[in-house]
Chains A and B, each alone.
Chain A
């Protein structure tokens, strides 16, 4: 199984994602430069964290116009699993591949710490191997993770069960104090209507080995490997794009 890790100018978690896929999971992995027009037969695409294009204008606003995004869009339209982590999530929002937008964190602080997130839905390729309501301890590192969406769209998101991760306390309760950035509905991650494109602010790739303080992020990567192996991807069911 092959992971493509897209590298934008200013990506800085690309090597972490590559390491998680290649060295920890033992899968094939390849970097894809943002100016490349194709994904070289990847089965999974990761848009990594970082500060693409220096976060100029808005986070992810420039990266969405990179040539590789046409290929990512086509890959996603064919049902291929796409994971956006932190800045990757912000890029997916700006690209319109996920609904909503990011605002500056409620307290205007860059938050860099471990948080707890609860898995809300397990019928996505990236939560396939999770237990329902499983609480994961995973680090965040962002200044603009304050998820915003209009009330109508939030209602649609909840009705469609597109909220995949919420910030909670260690016991899995979404208390306001456990919300590090002011996100609406304590939302930490969402998927698209097809459920194959997922974005989240926390960094699972930084929580894949005990030496890093947590291995809770591993299940996200294991999930997509298991989902692809089981042919469980919907709606297209085929991610050979």
Chain B
């Protein structure tokens, strides 16, 4: 099963990279871009057929390694569990 983990800086943490990207977009004329937050994206191939187990496993590795809880939070999507066509249909 595949789990997707999205790691982002917590809202209270200043994101210098996101700010720089937002400034660049404003320079390009995209005045409608109010803010940019940069994050990290991980795809985990997991040896389980259970979406519950996959979610538990992804959550555990995100807590232990993928995210630093002092500055970051994360969100998990399990393929075939929630919004399966979310990305494919784009």
Contact = CB atoms under 8 A, between A and B. Distances in A.
Interface of A: 57-58, 61, 65, 93-94, 99-101, 103-108, 146, 148-150, 182
Contacts of A58: 68
Interface in B49-72: 65-66, 68, 70-71
Contact of A104 (B17, B66, B68, B70): B17
B16 A57 contact: no
B73 to A, nearest CB: 13
Contacts of A65: 65
A99 B66 CA distance: 18
* Interface residue SS majority, chain A: loop
B14 interface: yes
Given A148-B70, A150-B70, A103 B16 contact: yes
A137 B12 CA distance: 33
B68 A146 contact: no
A92 B20 CA distance: 29
Contacts of B9: 103
A103 B66 CA distance: 15
Contact of A103 (B20, B65, B71): B71
Interface string B2-17: 0000000100111011
B68 A94 contact: yes
A104 B16 contact: yes
Contact of B66 (A57, A146, A149, A182): A57
B13 A148 contact: yes
A149 B14 CA distance: 12
Contact of A108 (B20, B65, B70, B71): B20
Contact of A101 (B16, B17, B68): B68
B66 to A, nearest CB: 7
Contact of A57 (B12, B13, B20, B65): B65
Indicate the member of A93, A99, A107, A148 with the most B CB atoms within 10 Å.
A148
Nearest to A101: B70
B79 to A, nearest CB: 22
B58 to A, nearest CB: 15
29 contacts: A57-B66, A58-B68, A61-B65, A61-B68, A65-B65, A93-B70, A94-B68, A99-B70, A100-B70, A101-B70, A101-B71, A103-B9, A103-B16, A103-B71, A104-B16, A104-B17, A106-B14, A106-B16, A107-B16, A108-B17, A108-B20, A148-B13, A148-B70, A148-B71, A149-B70, A150-B12, A150-B70, A182-B14, A182-B16
